[in-house]
Amino acid sequence: MGKMVRLVKNEMIKLVKRKSLPVMLIVTVILSVGVVLLFNFSRVAEDSSGEEYLVEEWKKEIVQLERFFAPDHYLDNAYADNSDRGRRFRNRSLMLQYLVDNGYSPYDWRYTSGIVEEMFEHKLQMDINYNYDKHKAEYDRLEGLIQADDWKTYYKGLAEQQLATYSYLYPMAEAEVLDAVWYEYNYRTEHNFRPGNERWRDELISSVASSKLSLAYFRQQEYARNTPGYINPSTGDPSMEKPELTLEQIAENRAAVLDKLAVATYRLDHNIKADIGYVFGEESVVSAGGKSVFWESFAASSEFIIVVGVLVIIIAGLIVAGEFSSGTIKFLLVSPVKRWKIVMAKYVTVLSLAVVFTLVMYLASAAASLAVFGTYGFDDSVVLVKDGVAWGVSPFLKVFGYYGWAFVEVVVVATMAFCLSSLMRSTAVSIGVGLFAYLSGTALVELLSSLGLDFGRYILFANLDLPAVMANTSIFPNQTLIEAIVIIVAHMAVFIWTAWDGFVRREI
């Protein structure tokens, strides 16, 4: 074992002396950074969810609404001012202008909670002169809450209104209704989470509250389904009590809602801002929260591990065929070390460098993504859920897994290149043939697939994307993981045996 380590070390030293290894490491870092910058450049599209963008949309809507009252409008101005549509247009315009003038964000609680809209609905009724005193009093009360930024009083009032409404609709789900309607108010006041400060948290709180309300609905439906002739005591109308869902549908929907509830609760409890499961192909059950560009960029970098494959082909060409091209093979073989040990040391060196290059790309991509996109979502987890139980997985491990699957391709390509290098005496030819086989292999199997030639599934390059094979999304349908592994192992065995035979039994 010690002799093999020394042989590998000697091979590394020879590559370093050629300056090949340092240059390749630098190239790997530069390309990793370049991939991140390219990803950033591709994201120059305007953000339609930003506050400034949405405020500008309010302003544009105000202009469009006011066009209804312009002197040159095709409608008579008296009609525009006094019609129901005209009054609502004017009221909507005044409401938006009120938000703009006061500098309220589209994500401020005054807008998202509906208090401003409610206040202006009372103003509309005042303008119509319908029960003016009552609506004026309510308008003044709401305006006072807005000016005082008293969100707690308003949210408490909302909970009381919802309690009355849903207790009427779901009388047999009292506990679930209480839990649902008071959740947001209780959670915010207990944790002092002011609405509008953190959008992702606001969305998750709303998601939890709506999920709990869905559970109340399912409880009511379940009771009605299991109780023949049941009549809601609040309505006394049997026609309103016909269950909309079967028991099977109730169970299925409840399971889905419990999963959604578990994920949202887990994210709130662990301060997980972004929903990054989509980055790794996980089905999102809670879409609340912004996207994490850091993880998008970092995960996407694994798709460019082809760079490592190309560099490994070059190394494999240098490490064996290069010995023949330069004539140093004679000095190597006069040593007392057996040929098979020499060839194995060279092969281990190639694989070791493949590991090094892959790790360098992983770390360089992470550092570049962090430098370009910042730390937002850096400490997030991929939240998985099953049977109403949620848990988090480190995204670093998920990305590392992506690199791990891609590394299988690198190992196979390295072995193929090493085989070619052992068979050929020219470094240039060895590298050229290896690159051609690697870069054209995928194109070949895609061509065979498009032509409906199913035998293409047995070609090596049709089986290297193991995640696609497992997900049944590979270019040839119905490929199995066992089939792909058998084909890869068979090719690897041929490559290794050929490389060993070509080096050990070869005449110098």
pLDDT, position 426: 80
Region of poorest pLDDT, from 18-22, 163-167, 435-439, 458-462: 18-22
Q: Is the sign of the CA dihedral 366, 371, 377, 380 positive or negative?
A: positive
Over range 336-361, report the average pLDDT: 87
Instruction: Identify whether the C-beta of residue 185 lies closer than 8 Å to the C-beta of residue 159.
Output: yes
Q: Is the pLDDT of residue 71 over 80?
A: no
List, in order, residues 6 or more apart from 219 with CB less than 8 Å away.
Answer: 170, 172, 173, 176
pLDDT digit string, tens, across residues 211-269: 999 999 999 989 888 887 677 665 555 545 566 788 899 999 999 999 999 999 999 99
Over range 448-463, report the average pLDDT: 87
pLDDT, position 158: 93
pLDDT, position 237: 53
pLDDT, position 333: 64
pLDDT digit string, tens, across residues 386-398: 988 999 888 888 8
Instruction: Identify whether the C-beta of residue 339 lies closer than 8 Å to the C-beta of residue 44.
Output: no
Q: Is the pLDDT of residue 46 over 50?
A: no
- The CA radius of gyration of the chain, in Å to the nearest whole number, is 33
Instruction: Identify whether the C-beta of residue 414 lies closer than 8 Å to the C-beta of residue 350.
Output: yes
Over range 283-312, report the average pLDDT: 81
Distance of CA 311 to the CA centre of its chain: 30
pLDDT digit string, tens, across residues 93-130: 999 999 999 999 888 999 999 999 999 999 999 988 88
pTM: 0.75
Band of pLDDT at residue 47, cut at 50, 70 and 90: very low
If one counts every other C-beta atom within 10 angstroms of the C-beta of residue 21, the result is 20
Burial of 116 (0-12, 13-18, 19+ CB in 10 A): buried
pLDDT, position 485: 92
Q: Is the pLDDT of residue 359 over 50?
A: yes
pLDDT, position 184: 95
Domain assignments of the chain as residue spans, ordered by start? 2-43+298-504, 51-105+108-149, 171-195+199-272
- How far apart, in whole angstroms, are the C-alpha atoms of residue 167 and residue 181? 10
Q: Between residues 418 and 231, which one has the greater pLDDT? A: 418
- Residue 270 main-chain phi, psi, to 5 deg: -110, 15
pLDDT digit string, tens, across residues 1-14: 677 788 778 778 87
Average pLDDT across the chain, whole number: 85
Band of pLDDT at residue 48, cut at 50, 70 and 90: very low
Instruction: Identify whether the C-beta of residue 182 lies closer than 8 Å to the C-beta of residue 163.
Output: yes
Over range 444-465, report the average pLDDT: 87
Region of poorest pLDDT, from 158-167, 203-212, 231-240, 280-289: 231-240
Region of poorest pLDDT, from 146-150, 351-355, 424-428: 424-428
Distances (CA, A) of 161 to 158, 164, 179, 220: 5, 5, 14, 19
pLDDT, position 1: 63
Q: Is the pLDDT of residue 45 over 50?
A: no
419, amino acid identity? C
Region of poorest pLDDT, from 150-159, 176-185, 192-201, 286-295: 286-295
Q: Is 392 helix (H, G, I), strand (E, B) or coil?
A: strand
pLDDT, position 235: 58
- Looking at the chain, the whole-number percentage of residues with pLDDT higher than 90 is 37
How does 248-264 read in b/e, with b if 16+ C-beta sit within 10 Å?
eebeebbeebbbbbbbb
